[in-house]
Structure 1
Amino acid sequence: MKFTLFSALCLFFSLGLQAQTPAPGLTLKASTDHPDALYKVGETATFTIEALQDGKPLAEGKVVCVLSKDGVQPQPPQTLALKDGKATLIGKLDEPGFLLMRVTSDKASAMAAAGYDPLLLKPSMPVPGDFDAFWAAQKAALAQVPLKPTLTSVTAGVPKGVEAFDVQIECAGGKPVSGYFGRPVGAKPKSLPAILHVHGAGVRSSNLGAVSWALNEGGMLSMDINAHGLPNGKPKEFYDALAAGELKDYRIEGVKDREKIYFKGMFLRLIRAIDFLTAQPEWDGKTLIVYGASQGGFQAFAAAGLDSRVSFICAGVPAGCDHTGSQANRISGWPKIVPNDASGKPDAEALQASRYFDNVNFAIRAKCQGAAVTVGFIDTTCPPTSVYAAYNALTIPKEMHADILSGHTSTPAASKFMQAAALKHVRESKGK
């Protein structure tokens, strides 16, 4: 399969959401001939397309298929005739990555993907030489800000046996850490593991429901922080107004300057939340999990790479992976912080700045005891090529859960996998 650098973003935006989108009465399904959708480089993959009308094979019709390298460099569309509701398409990749097929009719669409030796994917660029110095300076500046947490008791909606608080903590960058914190009533000093829940993209309050984790595995410290340092528990209209206004384009704020990229403040709040949790007298001094999906997965990787107090991460369909993928002729993940310049080439300043906020570089520096990561093979928001590039850069014990026909979502199986991994780490930590 021959690829050229052409129309990369066009296909990405044309794909839209990853879920299969049947029209009333018509359903398209797509699958690969390998049940696990995994192939060796150069091996042929056969995609099967099924069209059902009111639950029965469509008598006749046509579909249009587009193959691409995980959303980049699409091949010309191919029109296939359906026979007894089925059609097949053959393709291959001659390099590690994902061969994505999108099939459409005038009323429905579906996707499938074949993974080609994804465990061989490497970061698209090396770690910047001053990466550690940059982040050491950020953390040193943060350390000069007194912790000064303000805790306000919360009782409504809190499970019996848990004491919960709205927590506001001073931080560098002008915005506080804002979250909900829960602990078991009557916990003894140095007796509890801790978990920090971090959010996906969007603008919302912290999640009070996360304090229920305080009751898991004999007791835990559990904290959930919102991504933007916003007050908690406000009406929906409050967050909607921010999402449509001040925070509308936060994902691309300051992308040409590593000092101004929005995620710098987010990651400093992440470290400050860890400061708070590890300062609690009940913390056991060794167990601290960072748990999140999408943008929360981005934060989990950053926490592992920036803070040695983190003992385990759970990162579902992580964003923030391989921002510089264009330099290896590949796709990058959300937040797509490297725009193209007027000539169609990646903006040089944004490309350089993005390297200090890339999961592939955080992964290389992760020293925690383990990681649980999930991926969707037809995810066009955080494409699997980018996720594997970061996952492969981890040198710690790790495990991947793959949903081969899922897009950008935490499926029930993926959520169960992450929760089980977190609780297993707690049990193992208690046994040491």
Structure 2
Amino acid sequence: MPFYFFKPFSMKLLSYFSLFLGLLTISLRAQNTPAPIKLVNIVLTANHPDWNYRLNEAATIKVSVLKHGSPVENVEIEYQYGPEQLTPEKKGTLKLENGVGEINIGTMNTPGFRQLKVEAKIDGYVYKDEIKAGYAPFEIQPTVSMPKDFDNFWKKAIAENNKIPLDAVVTHKPEFSTATVDVYLVRLQNYQLGHYLYGYLSKPKDNKPHPVLLNPPGAGVKKITPITSFAEQGFISLTTEIHGISPEMDEKDFQKEREKLKDYWAINLDNKDNYYYKSVYLGCVRAIDFLSSLPEFDKKNVVVTGGSQGGALTIVTAGIDKRVNYISSFYPALSDNSGYLNNRAGGWPAMFSDKNNSPEKIKTMEYYDIVNFAKKITIPGFYSTGYNDNTCPPTSTLSAFNSVKAPKEIVITPISAHWRFKETDDKSMKWLKEKCGIE
């Protein structure tokens, strides 16, 4: 009998206790949610709204330090400025009596970028910001040389790669598919027998002809994930990796590969015939082989798009594979890598910034530098970059953009760093769809 009366009482207690725990969990989560905005903001405003200046014209930057959106009185800032990504020419401090001041960061007599970095210490916390001013940015010319046998080198490499069977294995992945898009895991043989690259193929389920789109990856060693957004816009897309790592690889094995490849961009850099990126660049052509063989391919529109390393591979593919019709490249890495050897910023991964170079490494990079592929592009392209990008500095990316002689549309968002705004993505997609006749 006691048990009979105690049971409903204990269940009610349990219910109340569960509710309490739930509310406590929500409360703790709310307390630990990162603030969506900064308590203190440093706002840097160029006296030219497009951040562009003529050669020998001084750039003046307005500095505002705001707390709760209002100027912080009598705050002292530290600043430094000079050529982009190089040793600062000047460092100093400035007291902002009303939370606002100006810094003249000088000028340049050759095309390029100057960079201002500012920091303020308030209530024990350090706040930072930076801005870059462009001097005749569309006149920046690359420093890298073009090998005389560049075209023959890549024609021979592609011809040799074509001897290797594609050996495509395509596996439907219903767990990643949607109501309108089918997703498949794809394995393609590339570069050597038994050497593979992997990708996720996304196809509209309507079985109609569609343009094909290659989406190469950004830098790093990571497992790829399916992307269905391109297929939802009317493309048959292939999102790839570059290291021969299946997204289904065991985690322990993946971590071993990741450690082994942490500096993959430097592997065999002193040997142009065996440099790591040779298989990567050929893999992009191999991906086009696969996409153009699909029965749903509309037989006329081949597109490549990506950002950072993916932006670089986009330009590479268009430069050596004439089946490509349109590209959209965002802040391409690996551009004008010899910049640091000429006292200016070079592209990711800043491989010569530490002066760790040799004639063999420098010569090898000439065959792989994005600038030299950009010079080979003959098709329309959409390009974009930001001035505040320190990963792929604008001096390097504009060296590539300015090397393109084919029709091009360039969207510059000066304020963006190594990322892009949705508005820019939307412009890119609208441009690609219009070129391919997708309504």
TM-score normalized with structure 2 length: 0.85
- Distance 1:338-1:327 versus aligned 2 partners, 3 A rule: closer
Identify the match of residue 236 of structure 2 among 218, 221, 227: 221
Name the structure 1 match of 2:434. Answer: 424
**1:178 and 2:233 aligned:** no
**1:105 and 2:120 aligned:** yes
Name the structure 2 match of 1:94. Answer: 109
Contact 1:69/1:98 (CA < 8 Å) preserved in 2?
yes
Q: 121-130 or 172-181: which moved more? A: 172-181
Contact 1:203/1:239 (CA < 8 Å) preserved in 2?
no
Contact 1:338/1:347 (CA < 8 Å) preserved in 2?
no
Identify the match of residue 331 of structure 1 among 338, 341, 345: 345
Q: Distance in 2 between matches of 1:32 and 1:175?
A: 51
Q: Distance in 1 between matches of 2:251 and 2:50?
A: 41
% identical aligned pairs: 29
**1:207 and 2:225 aligned:** yes
Name the structure 2 match of 1:316. Answer: 330
Q: 264-273 or 331-340: which moved more? A: 331-340
Name the structure 1 match of 2:168. Answer: 149
Q: Distance in 2 between matches of 1:30 and 1:222?
A: 40
**Helix, strand or coil: the match of 1:208?**
coil
Q: Distance in 2 between matches of 1:406 and 1:239?
A: 33
**Helix, strand or coil: the match of 2:375?**
helix
- Distance 1:215-1:24 versus aligned 2 partners, 3 A rule: closer
Structure 1 counterpart of 2:214, which letter?
Answer: L
Query: Offset of 1:51 from its aligned partner?
Result: 0.8
Structure 1 counterpart of 2:332, which letter?
Answer: P
Query: Offset of 1:366 from its aligned partner?
Result: 0.9
Identify the match of residue 385 of structure 1 among 391, 395, 404: 395
Name the structure 2 match of 1:249. Answer: 263
**Helix, strand or coil: the match of 2:315?**
helix
Higher relative contact order (CA 8 A, sep 6+): 1
**1:83 and 2:78 aligned:** no
Structure 1 counterpart of 2:81, which letter?
Answer: L
Contact 2:341/2:352 (CA < 8 Å) preserved in 1?
no
RMSD value over aligned CA atoms? 2.2
Name the structure 2 match of 1:138. Answer: 157
Q: Distance in 2 between matches of 1:234 and 1:414?
A: 34
**Helix, strand or coil: the match of 1:357?**
coil
Q: Distance in 2 between matches of 1:207 and 1:356?
A: 30
**Helix, strand or coil: the match of 1:193?**
strand
Q: How many aligned positions are there?
A: 399
Name the structure 2 match of 1:192. Answer: 210
TM-score normalized with structure 1 length: 0.87
Identify the match of residue 55 of structure 1 among 45, 69, 80: 69
Contact 2:341/2:355 (CA < 8 Å) preserved in 1?
no
Name the structure 1 match of 2:85. Answer: 71
Query: Offset of 1:89 from its aligned partner?
Result: 0.9
Query: Offset of 1:259 from its aligned partner?
Result: 2.2
Contact 1:255/1:337 (CA < 8 Å) preserved in 2?
no
Name the structure 1 match of 2:14. Answer: none
Q: Distance in 2 between matches of 1:397 and 1:360?
A: 16
Identify the match of residue 183 of structure 2 among 149, 155, 164: 164
Taking the TM superposition and a 5 Å limit, the aligned residue runs for 1:338-357 are 338=352, 340-341=354-355, 346-357=357-368
Identify the match of residue 384 of structure 2 among 374, 377, 391: 374
Question: Which runs of 5 or more residues in structure 2 are unaligned?
Answer: 1-35
Taking the TM superposition and a 5 Å limit, the aligned residue runs for 1:224-243 are 224-234=239-249, 239-243=254-258
Contact 1:317/1:410 (CA < 8 Å) preserved in 2?
no
Q: Distance in 2 between matches of 1:421 and 1:240?
A: 39
**Helix, strand or coil: the match of 1:377?**
coil
Identify the match of residue 361 of structure 1 among 365, 372, 377: 372
Query: Offset of 1:327 from its aligned partner?
Result: 4.5
Name the structure 2 match of 1:44. Answer: 58
Query: Offset of 1:361 from its aligned partner?
Result: 0.3
Query: Offset of 1:206 from its aligned partner?
Result: 2.6
Deviations 1:242-297 (A, max 9, x none): 33x11211122222222232211111111110110111222222211111111100
Question: Which runs of 5 or more residues in structure 1 are unaligned?
Answer: 1-21
